Amino acid sequence: MTYNKEALKEAIVQKLRLNYGCTEQQANDGEMLKACAMVLRDIMAERGVQTRLDTNRQEKRKVHYMSMEFLMGRSLMKNAYNLGLLEPLREAVGELGFKAADLFDMEPDAGLGNGGLGRLAACYLDSMTTLDIPATGYSICYELGIFKQKIVEGQQVELPDDWKNLGDAWLMPKPQEAEEIHFGGKVRTRWDNGHHMVVHEDYTRVLAIPCDMEVAGYGTEHVNTLRLWDAKSPKPIDMQLFRAGQYLQASEEQAMADVISKILYPEDNHYEGKSLRLKQQYFFVSATVQSITRQHIEVYGTLKNFHEKNVIQINDTHPALVIPELMRILIDDAGMNWEEAWHITKNAVAYTNHTVLAEALECWPQKLMEELLPRVWQIIQEISKRWQERVEGFYHGDMQKVEKMAIIWGGSVRMANLCIAGGTAVNGVSALHSDILRNDVFRDACVMEPEKFKNVTNGIDHRRWLAQINPGLDSLICELTGGNDYLTVPQKLRELESYADDAAVLKRLEEIKQQNKEAFAKFAKRQQGVVLNTNGIFDVQVKRLHEYKRQLLNVLHIISLYLQLKDHPDMEMVPQTFLFGAKAAPGYAVAKRIIQLINSLADEINNNPICKDKLQVVFLENYRVSMAEMLMPASEVSQQISTAGKEASGTGNMKFMMNGALTVGTLDGANVEMHEMLGDENIFLFGLTADEAARLSTNYDPMLFYNRDGMLRRVLDQIKHGFRDGKTYEDLYQRLLYGANCPADQYLLLADFGSYCAAEQRMVNTYRNREQWNKMSLRNIARSGIFAADRSIAEYAENIWHVPYKK
């Protein structure tokens, strides 16, 4: 069935009648949105069936992408776009008396993730599908996604995000494919006919119900699935307790089950050993492994060739329990011996690391595992024992190495070491990050198995992050490159470079940017009532709030500009509009203080007449995927200023680059590779390198910088004394100069301050020459093709998954 406008109209009207019992005249926007979603879902569902049939008939190897987070954002426009139905849908909706733009705009973000890792999973799902790779994403169907952020008197307040109200139109619950998960209980072993039988009893059962979201690729009939697990108790209520009049207790078990898929943990890059989180992880892992092995048996009748036909990619260590869980199923359910099961497991699992921050490394208390997952715990112990023997053999009993590489040590289970032992590949997410893994974090393991350690630099879905969100730029690219081939061949963007000296093209680039700035200003006015100065350089830092990302360094620099302006109120300057967007983990007090500081500074600057039309600072409330989609096309400066060595890759940096913003950044994560593409002339680099930063950290005294730099001193004193709203930030001042249960200025802000200010100065001076600026912007766009997720996925397919893909 091919769809045109008329067919879409008919299908939408039908959906309205059958599902909401109303006509298109009676329907409201929400009903209309859902009806459209259901129509596209039907198209995808049909193709999904076909894709799976083909995959199984041709016995293709499948990719299973497991991630505790999938930050999908909105789907209506995306799916219509990928299905080639965007224009017909617009017209159909229009003729039914609605505005497509309004519907797109009212769709809630599926915010089932925190930040980079979750958004990466969503971009990869798009590319895997577009490249015709048989792939399934797996995650939890959180009832509440990442919290909504409100700013009240300068402070972050968290509100629940009940996205499913409107967002569930994309989901297809499949209760007949539910899996049962077992928690707690006891493990007994007995001999049966000469077989060693493991019996797990007295466990608590939880049902995992798949809710499938179909994913369309671009320019293909291929459709993949995102399988989201919803937790439910297998029995609706305990009737015995109910009959005894204990009504509350009667549904206690149900509540316990429901809570597993209730809410996404909002901590990003920070591990906490909470038992509910471990329950979520095992629930997710066990449901997924059971589902994959069940489907494999349906096709092949055995698990012996499981590793030949499946590869499971785990997104950081959060799904690391797949290793013992797959072992459990192969041994306890399929009756294999340890060696055979281990061979299959080791060849079916690959691990991506996304962070080197020590506080983000997962180490589960042994006690918790033992109690919650008694059988899995036994298997982990055996894996650990055998791994340790191997390490001892390789390193001739060097106990330091043995300790560092141990899986179980000091009463905790180190998930990263489990992944290294149990996987076929370990990869970092940028060249620098992968080097740090090889030479530092996982050094000893890498010496033992060097072939295992790989790099796949991250990428972004350029169809969403350029073509779809920046139609002005998309048109220009299509015009200049003679068609839209760049959508599937991102390297085509390179051809833009031949226009670097074409004044007319450069002017158009500038106009597109200006229009996007105006559009974003309208959005900001609507969302939070703020009036942005669109004559100012849109200088943007949006990402999770974390000390290592150094939003505070950005603040220090802005204060220095403010102080200069106060010294010379008539100073001529290029207007600058500084935009921040960031959610802080609710329990991360310092991050929340930094948000407050940004808001105090914004209040001070925006209310001082000397700053009018010169300096503006705005904290954008509730930064999320759909806001990023408005903001990236409007941005001129991209702040990527993490302490070198700390940001594994970054992906926002790539989104900005692709939309023509220029980067002010450190040589960290993927910035290093951006710099390689761009050369010194097309990026504003500053600061210590990763090596220098690591070396300085061993013997660092921020006071040296404080004493040496008069401006830095004034800036810090300003923080300490506070702002016109009466708020002071002596705590942050202390943290930088003296530390507080942590080294003073751990992230080397003071060491990089001078060089950062100089880079900002170079940036502003460049902006004075708009033609030069536009030329650099064009080169950024032209050289961004390498950061398309299609390239990353091709590398995973070639080097890790060993699966064919559409070239």
Residues involved in catalysis = 354, 543-544, 549, 651, 655
Contact call for residue 354 and ligand 26W (CB under 6 A): yes
Q: Which amino acid is at 503?
A: A
Count of residues touching ligand 26W (by CB under 6 A): 23
Nearer to ligand 26W, 126 or 268 (CB): 268
Which residue is listed with tokens 């708020």? Answer: 727
Contact call for residue 669 and ligand 26W (CB under 6 A): yes
Q: Which amino acid is at 518?
A: E
Pairing of strands 425-428, 453-455: parallel
Contact call for residue 551 and ligand 26W (CB under 6 A): no
Per DSSP, the residues of 534-556 read TTSEEEEEES---GGGTHHHHHH
Sole binder of ligand 26W in the list 79, 149, 251, 269 (CB under 6 A): 269
Closest CB 431 distance from ligand 26W, rounded Å:
13
Query: Between residue 724 and residue 763, which ones bind ligand 26W under the rule CB under 6 A?
Result: none
Contact call for residue 281 and ligand 26W (CB under 6 A): no
Contact call for residue 651 and ligand 26W (CB under 6 A): yes
Sole binder of ligand 26W in the list 83, 131, 360, 506 (CB under 6 A): 360
Q: What angle do CA 730, 734, 736 make, to 5 degrees?
A: 120
Sole binder of ligand 26W in the list 349, 429, 476, 584 (CB under 6 A): 429
Contact call for residue 480 and ligand 26W (CB under 6 A): no
Stretch of residues binding ligand 26W (CB under 6 A), selected from 326-334, 354-362, 389-397, 495-503: 354-362
User: Can you give the three-state secondary structure of 80-110, one letter per residue?
Assistant: HHHCCCHHHHHHHHHHCCCCHHHHHHHCCCE
Q: Which amino acid is at 245?
A: G
Sole binder of ligand 26W in the list 38, 648, 657, 757 (CB under 6 A): 648
From residue 383 to residue 422, the character string flagging contacts with ligand 26W as x (rule: CB under 6 A) and all else as - is ----------------------------------------
Pairing of strands 204-216, 412-414: unpaired
| Assigned token pair, 214 | 């179909």
Nearer to ligand 26W, 32 or 323 (CB): 323
Q: Which of 466, 467, 497, 464 is nearest to 480 (CA)?
A: 497
Q: Which residues neighbour 53 within 8 Å (Cβ) at sequence distance 6 or greater? A: none
Residue 791, judged by CB atoms within 10 A of its CB (0-12, 13-18, 19+), counts as middle
Nearer to ligand 26W, 114 or 622 (CB): 114
Nearer to ligand 26W, 164 or 543 (CB): 543
Alpha-carbon distance of 788 to 709, in angstroms, equals 42
Sole binder of ligand 26W in the list 115, 210, 490, 665 (CB under 6 A): 115
Which residue is listed with tokens 């699966």? Answer: 803
Nearer to ligand 26W, 114 or 288 (CB): 114
Closest CB 436 distance from ligand 26W, rounded Å:
12
Sole binder of ligand 26W in the list 89, 117, 146, 407 (CB under 6 A): 117
Q: Which residues neighbour 163 within 8 Å (Cβ) at sequence distance 6 or greater? A: 108, 109, 110, 111, 144, 145
Closest CB 545 distance from ligand 26W, rounded Å:
12
Contact call for residue 268 and ligand 26W (CB under 6 A): yes
Contact call for residue 423 and ligand 26W (CB under 6 A): no
Q: Which residues neighbour 771 within 8 Å (Cβ) at sequence distance 6 or greater? A: 503, 506
Nearer to ligand 26W, 493 or 585 (CB): 585
End-to-end CA distance of the chain: 26
Sole binder of ligand 26W in the list 17, 61, 200, 270 (CB under 6 A): 270
Q: Which residues neighbour 106 within 8 Å (Cβ) at sequence distance 6 or greater? A: 29, 30, 33, 166
Nearer to ligand 26W, 120 or 661 (CB): 120
Closest CB 71 distance from ligand 26W, rounded Å:
10
Stretch of residues binding ligand 26W (CB under 6 A), selected from 267-275, 395-403, 490-498, 761-769: 267-275
Q: Among all residues, whose Cβ is closest to ligand 26W?
A: 116
Q: Which residues neighbour 272 within 8 Å (Cβ) at sequence distance 6 or greater? A: none
3-state helix, strand, coil in the chain (%, to 5): 55, 15, 30
Q: Which of 621, 625, 628 is nearest to 602 (CA)?
A: 621
Contact call for residue 145 and ligand 26W (CB under 6 A): no
Alpha-carbon distance of 39 to 188, in angstroms, equals 51
Sole binder of ligand 26W in the list 75, 281, 427, 458 (CB under 6 A): 458
Q: How many CB atoms lie within 10 A of CB 339?
A: 8
Stretch of residues binding ligand 26W (CB under 6 A), selected from 182-190, 265-273, 511-519, 521-529: 265-273
Closest CB 250 distance from ligand 26W, rounded Å:
35
Sole binder of ligand 26W in the list 109, 179, 253, 316 (CB under 6 A): 316
Q: Which of 19, 21, 54, 58 is nearest to 35 (CA)?
A: 19
Contact call for residue 271 and ligand 26W (CB under 6 A): yes
Nearer to ligand 26W, 317 or 534 (CB): 317
| Assigned token pair, 559 | 């204060």
Stretch of residues binding ligand 26W (CB under 6 A), selected from 110-118, 409-417, 435-443, 601-609: 110-118
Nearer to ligand 26W, 270 or 494 (CB): 270
Alpha-carbon distance of 95 to 108, in angstroms, equals 24
What value does the CA radius of gyration of the chain take, rounded to a whole number of Å?
27
Contact call for residue 650 and ligand 26W (CB under 6 A): yes
Taking CA atoms, 684 is separated from 385, 612, 663, 758, 767, in Å, by 50, 27, 6, 9, 12
Nearer to ligand 26W, 296 or 543 (CB): 543
Contact call for residue 362 and ligand 26W (CB under 6 A): yes
Contact call for residue 266 and ligand 26W (CB under 6 A): no
Alpha-carbon distance of 59 to 63, in angstroms, equals 13
Q: How many CB atoms lie within 10 A of CB 800?
A: 21
Contact call for residue 649 and ligand 26W (CB under 6 A): yes
Nearer to ligand 26W, 458 or 533 (CB): 458
Contact call for residue 116 and ligand 26W (CB under 6 A): yes
Helix crossing, 589-606 with 730-737: angle to 10°? Answer: 120
Stretch of residues binding ligand 26W (CB under 6 A), selected from 40-48, 262-270, 449-457, 720-728: 262-270
Closest CB 547 distance from ligand 26W, rounded Å:
13
DSSP H helices in 319-448: 322-328, 338-348, 366-372, 374-394, 399-405, 415-422, 431-436, 443-448
Stretch of residues binding ligand 26W (CB under 6 A), selected from 57-65, 264-272, 409-417, 466-474: 264-272
Nearer to ligand 26W, 3 or 580 (CB): 580
Stretch of residues binding ligand 26W (CB under 6 A), selected from 159-167, 248-256, 480-488, 647-655: 647-655
Nearer to ligand 26W, 164 or 549 (CB): 549
> Which residues bind to ligand 26W, rule: CB under 6 A?
114-117, 120, 267-271, 316, 354-355, 360, 362, 429, 458, 647-651, 669
